[in-house]
Amino acid sequence: MGITDFKASREWLYKYQKRHQIVQRSPTHVGRKLVMTEEDIEKEAQFLHMVEEIAPLNDIPPCRLINFDETSVKLQNSYKKTLSPKGVKEVTVIDPNASKKHFTVGLATAADGYKFPAVVVFKLRDGGSRA
């Protein structure tokens, strides 16, 4: 482009955002991954098919088929505002340098519908963890 001495003023930024319908919003979701990939969907389908075949063969009752998942919850959100297109309902932010101040929540449910109590794990100061 050949432009070497450009400096954006607040007024220039305001007009640019207005011209391109960009607004400042609070994030509605902060995460590390936006959507499931085709590979994720295929792996999930293969796993469910395997469980549906194996469980009846081994006389495993639904109450013994348990799905457990865990997620990290940040204690402090580092993003207060971000830029997004005007009119969108969800504003997602990817945080590659996630804060180390977090705790882990584990949730489990059985194939018969039973929901187990949540497990919350906090990191101890000496590097261990405690549920």
Contact assessment for residue 95 and residue 120, using Cβ atoms and an 8 Å cutoff: no
Residue 3 within any structural domain of the chain: no
Do 67 and 106 meet the contact criterion of CB atoms below 8 Å apart?
no
Tell me if 43 is assigned to some domain: yes
Q: How many domains does the chain have?
A: 1
For 16-56, write each residue's pLDDT tens digit. Answer: 888 988 888 776 666 655 577 899 899 989 988 888 888 88
4 domain-assigned: no
Per-residue pLDDT of 69-105, as tens digits, reads: 998 877 665 667 777 788 888 777 666 555 567 789 9
111 part of a folded domain: yes
Answer yes or no: are the C-beta atoms of 122 and 129 closer than 8 Å. Answer: yes
